[in-house]
Amino acid sequence: MSENLRTLEGWYTLHDFRRFDWPAWRALPERERQAIQEELFGVIKQYKFCDEQRQGAYACYEILGHKADFLFLNLRPTLQELSKAEQALQKTRFSQFAPVVYSYVSVVELSNYVHSSESVSPEAQAMIDARLKPVLPKTQHVCFYPMNKRRELGNNWYTETLEERRRMMREHGLIGRTYSGRVTQMIGGSIGLDDWEWGVTLFAEDPLVFKHLVTEMRFDEASARFADFGAFYVGNRLDSVLLRD
């Protein structure tokens, strides 16, 4: 039997995708729209306070295409706290006009493909902690997608030896390093938490970086032989959610 994957876990993560009903919104009286907007501002203020106090992380994006209009991205130390963050938004009147169209639950993860289980220096430990409890980049664009490793006859990731999986992931990681400074990656482990095995979130100033990076990685062995991908969501960062026509 192949050696099991060992992981380090950090903050729990919720990608909350919503579609907004603009015709219903426009039909409301202006005073009512203003009240709903102020209620939404109150929830976002709570999210931002949590982010500033390093009790979690928060960012919001407008999503392009038909899949969603907004992404509310929240990270918290526990599932209970993450649920409170989700419910705070769900209980607002805003949610009546912005139903959830997709969501993804995971936990920020580092695997023993990229970290050693041996003792590390305080500096290295600080870097690991920073990756497990990330400050979300204030870059202009985001890309999210879920993925699995294949379990097919002849191409079963989970029957490969740990050494072989490490070799392939090392090659995979070398491609990512060539994009250092241009893209930030957050891996969410979701085996037992959601429908896919991982959720990948990329942050960049130039959205073409997403295309180039994902394309290049498709040709390495770890992806070409073993990776399956779900739907891709791409968006632009919002400092505030202003519900204006």
- Yes or no: say if 106 and 188 are a contact pair by the CB < 8 Å rule: yes
**For residue 242, what pLDDT is reported?**
80
The answer on pLDDT for 115 being more than 60 is no
The answer on pLDDT for 125 being more than 70 is yes
**For residue 114, what pLDDT is reported?**
58
pTM greater than 0.85 (yes/no): yes
**For residue 183, what pLDDT is reported?**
97
| Residue 233: active-site member | no
pLDDT tens digits, one per residue of 209-223: 999 999 999 999 999
- Yes or no: say if 19 and 71 are a contact pair by the CB < 8 Å rule: no
H or E stretch covering 42: helix 30-52
Beta bridge partners of 229: 147
* CATH number of the structural domain 7-238: 3.30.70.1030
For helices 79-90 and 30-52, the axis angle rounded to 10 degrees is: 160
Nearest CA to 244 out of 26, 24, 19 is that of 26
pLDDT tens digits, one per residue of 63-104: 999 999 999 999 999 999 999 999 999 999 999 999 999 999
Structure tokens at 49: 């306070």
Write down the mean pLDDT value for the chain: 93
pLDDT-derived band at 192, boundaries 50, 70, 90: very high
The answer on pLDDT for 179 being more than 80 is yes
Q: Which of 103-117, 138-152, 164-178 has the lowest mean pLDDT?
A: 103-117
CA distance 233 to 219: 21
**For residue 118, what pLDDT is reported?**
56
**For residue 68, what pLDDT is reported?**
98
pLDDT tens digits, one per residue of 7-64: 899 999 999 999 999 999 999 999 999 999 999 999 999 999 999 999 999 999 999 9
The one catalytic residue in 47, 102, 113, 145 is 145
CA distance 181 to 9: 24
Q: Averaged over 196-202, what is the pLDDT?
A: 98
CA distance 29 to 25: 9
Domain boundaries, given as residue ranges, for the chain: 7-238
Residue 96, φ and ψ in degrees, nearest 5: -65, -25
Nearest CA to 208 out of 171, 234, 172 is that of 234
